[in-house]
Chains A and B, each alone.
Chain A
Amino acid sequence: MWKLIVRRTLITIPQILLLSVLVFILAQAMPGDALTGLIDPNIDPATIEAMRERLGLNNPWYVQYFDWIKGVIQGDFGQSFRFKMPVSELIGDRMINTLWLSLATLILTYLIAIPLGIISGRFNDTWLDRVITGYTYIGFAAPLFIFALIMLFVFGFQLSWFPTSGSVSPGTEPGTFAYFISKVNHLLLPALSMALITTVSTVQYLRSEIIDTKQKDFIVTARAKGASESRVYNRHVLRNSLLPIAAFFGYEITGLIGGTIFIENIFGYPGMGELFLSSISLRDYSVMTALVLLFGLAAILGALLSDIILSLVDPRIRIK
């Protein structure tokens, strides 16, 4: 058990290294560099060249990579030229915001998916199931950014139930109860918009798993033992059907990253996704690379988490 977890965790080390190299090379391959944005006809090209030399921008890529990674390990992602502040400080607050948004979305996703999936799978081919699968098809077909815009328009602007931008009302004091409520209030609409769309794959997955599991022989065995239908479903069908959902959990995190980039921009929510898009358009390289690295890291850790969860719940995977 522990052996498996340790072994699986060790595998992430080369994955993370490879990720950092890739992120760095991709950033290097983009046209322009940190000084491109500063070009001003009044500055002498020789001065810029001297500055490049001084900043090490003319060194070969691997030297630059080692300079960069040395800093990253110490938590130093360099300076954001746009905000004129250290990237780590800039990302700090936004990361917390994005974490809350992702967490809220995840919770809502499973709160929606598990009951719907169970109903749909257990009572398959009834009208209730048709309604639920109908919803999932709409969810698959509707692009997240369009759906989020509609949600924002209806619940934010028309009905004014939720705030339309920001992560907290200005003027509230951090640490107070009002601050917490304001945070949750700002979170709810973006999280719900994202959850309603991302949950559909989990609903469908759970539905087909339950339909599959309920035809297995051991379900007949459970009935032959005299188990009631509710016990058959709760004890035998559900646990076996949730396995792949657990395995899916890590990929859910990857999906969330993509989702938050859209959602945060649409809802003007100050998180990493919002920062990411604006950094791309302004060529704020140090911020961009730091964010891509963090997103990649989250995906790798998500996959790690999936495998660990799966090994905990599925005895067949445990290695002695």
Chain B
Amino acid sequence: MNDVLLNIKNLKTSFRIKDDYYAAVDDVSLTVRKNEVLAIVGESGSGKSAFAFSIMGLHTRAKIEGEIDYKGIDLAKTNANQMRKLRGNEMGMIFQDALSALNPLMVVGAQIDEAIFLHNPKSSKSLRKKQVINLLNQVGIPRPEKTYHQYPHELSGGMRQRIVIAMAISNQPELLIADEPTTALDVTIQSQILDLIKELKDTIHAGIILITHDLGVVAEMADRVAVMYAGQIVEIADVYTLMENPQHPYTRSLLNSIPTLNDVKEDLHVIEGVVPSLQKLPRSGCRFSARIPWIDESAHEASPELHEISPGHFVRCTCYKDFYFPEQAEEERNYVAN
């Protein structure tokens, strides 16, 4: 396949806690193609952001193992200088909280200008200013000339997120990583920002990694979805397959926990427990087993692998075959009894 942009093999990102290293991203293999939106879904603490930061090389104190092949360059092994040339140039990143992601003491125009200047140090100031105004137009800022000279605290949350996006796309990146771009925004602004990202995808044809915990966002935006749990990918499929035919217990539980208008009478479905902390994470066996204790131990694999159950649809562990929701079983029993 020629249109593969990013080919990640066995990526392992570990952080040092006291004297030991603990993997936050554990043996992740993924590909991102050009002009594709790959969504990465999971709860807080499942390693999504650590994964994104590993690609961008933004971890300052982490051990990164494995291979991150970006157009023939292994980002996991490249030197700081070469990485810097790629960062912000060929790879852009959109951050979650736009207020804290912007320097409070610089006007937003100058911050976008810096992103252009760093990769085109010879371009003239007036040319860059024109480019910044164009970018501001492109991300839907109503009065770019005025906004150029405003400070982040003078803008609304939606406007700030647009600035962060403008900064990320300022050098027409081929790979765009959006780390929960809409989490900090209210719902109406969220859909505007998502529309904007979709629009940009069509104009700059970048490969986009969209990190989110919002399955609504996934359904709207993604081409393919990778579900992450405790640092591992537990299921990958294209978005239709994943939404229509989810297999892994974790994916099914996530989808099951979305409230629908049809079951008003019922309580919200929740997944009991939380993602274990790095230190407490079991390193062998099915990592999700602790949160589905009603499933028999024998259903899990000893060392769970990703199984391709249909072309392009991978599921980790064998427990998906025997998985059921306890309340479903309850209903069925009631049905049989009646």
CB–CB A217/B100 < 8 A? yes
| Cα(A227)–Cα(B95), bound, Å | 16
The 4 residue pairs across chains A and B that have the minimum distance between CB atoms: A226-B88, A225-B88, A217-B100, A226-B87
Contact B151 A316 (CB under 8 A): yes
The complex places the Cα of A79 from the Cα of B164 at a distance, in Å, of: 67
Q: Which residue of A lies closest to B83 (CB)?
A: A226
**Contact present for B87 and A220 (CB under 8 Å):** no
Q: Which residues of A contact B (CB under 8 A)?
A: 216-218, 220-228, 231, 235-236, 239-240, 243, 313-316
Q: Are B100 and A218 in contact (CB under 8 A)?
A: yes
With contacts A217-B101, A315-B105 taken as known, whether A223 is within 8 angstroms of B58 at the C-beta atoms is yes
Tell me which of A218, A222, A239, A243 has the highest count of chain B C-beta atoms within 10 A of its own C-beta: A218
Question: In the complex, are the beta carbons of B102 and A227 less than 8 A apart?
Answer: no
Give min CB distance, B330 to chain A, whole Å. 46
Q: How far is the CB of B40 from the nearest CB of chain A, in Å?
A: 18
- How many residue pairs, one in A and one in B, have C-beta atoms under 8 Å apart? 68
Is B321 part of the contact surface with A, judged by Cβ < 8 Å? no
What is the total number of residues of chain B having a CB less than 8 Å from a CB of chain A? 27
Contact of B93 with A by CB under 8 A: yes
Provide the bound-state CA to CA distance between A314 and B193, in Å: 30
* A220 and B95 within 8 A (CB): yes
A313 to B101, CA, bound (A): 20
B98-142 interface mask toward A, CB cutoff 8 Å, 1 = contact, 0 = none? 001111110000000011001100000000000000000000000
Sample of 15 more A-B contacts, CB < 8 Å, known A221-B95, A224-B95, A227-B118? A217-B100, A218-B101, A218-B102, A221-B103, A222-B114, A223-B58, A224-B56, A226-B87, A226-B118, A231-B118, A236-B103, A240-B104, A313-B105, A315-B153, A316-B153
Complex-state Cα separation, A307 to B128, whole angstroms: 35
Q: Judge whether B101 and A220 touch: CB under 8 Å.
A: yes
B33 contacts across to A, CB distance below 8 A: none
Q: What is the distance, in angstroms, from A285's C-beta to the closest C-beta of chain B? A: 49
Residues of A within 8 A of B101 (CB): 217-218, 220-221
Nearest chain B CB to A118's CB is how many angstroms away? Answer: 17
**Main secondary structure on chain A at its contact with chain B?**
helix
What's the Cα separation between A223 and B118 when bound, in Å? 11
Q: In the complex the two chains form, is B167's CB within 8 Å of A240's CB?
A: no
User: What chain A residues lie within 8 Å of B153 (beta carbons)?
Assistant: 315-316
Who on chain B is nearest to A215 by CB? B60
Q: Can you give 10 contacting A-B residue pairs, CB < 8 Å?
A: A220-B95, A224-B58, A224-B87, A224-B88, A225-B118, A226-B85, A226-B87, A226-B88, A226-B118, A316-B151
What distance in Å separates the Cβ of B287 from its nearest Cβ neighbour in chain A?
A: 28
Contact A217 B118 (CB under 8 A): no
The residues of A that contact B247 with a CB separation of less than 8 Å are none
Q: Is the CB of A227 within 8 A of B56?
A: no
| Nearest CB on B from A128, distance (A) | 18
With A225-B118, A226-B84: A216-B100 Cβ-Cβ less than 8 Å: yes
A243 vs B114: C-alpha distance in the bound complex, in angstroms? 22
Task: Identify the closest chain A residue to B57 (Cβ).
Answer: A223
Contact with A along B33-56 (1 / 0, CB 8 A): 000000000000000000000001
Chain B residues lying within 8 Å of A315, measured Cβ to Cβ, are 104-105, 151, 153
Q: How far is the CA of A243 from the CA of B104 in the complex (A)?
A: 12
B74: CB under 8 A from chain A?
no
B85 touching A222, Cβ below 8 Å: no
**In the assembled complex, which residues on chain B have CB atoms less than 8 Å from the CB atom of A222?**
103, 114
Query: Is the CB–CB distance between B167 and A316 below 8 Å?
Result: no
CB distance from B113 to the nearest CB of A (A): 10
Tell me the complex Cα distance, A231–B115, Å: 12
Residues of A within 8 A of B103 (CB): 218, 221-222, 236, 240
A146 to chain B, nearest CB (A): 41
The answer for the CA separation of A216 and B104 in the assembled complex, in Å, is: 11
Residues on B with C-beta less than 8 A from A316 are 104, 151, 153
> How far, in Å, is A239 (CB) from chain B's closest CB?
6
Interface centre among B114, B153, B164 (most CB of A within 10 A): B114
List residues of chain B with CB within 8 A of the CB of A313: 105
- Select from chain B the residue with minimum beta-carbon distance to A228: B84
Asked if B102 and A221 sit within 8 Å, CB to CB, the answer is yes
When C-beta atoms are compared, the residue in chain B nearest to A237 turns out to be: B103
A-side contacts of B105, CB under 8 Å: 239-240, 243, 313-315
Q: Which residues of B contact A217 (CB under 8 A)?
A: 95, 97, 100-101
What is the distance, in angstroms, from A231's C-beta to the closest C-beta of chain B?
A: 8
**Do the beta carbons of B100 and A223 come within 8 Å of each other?**
no
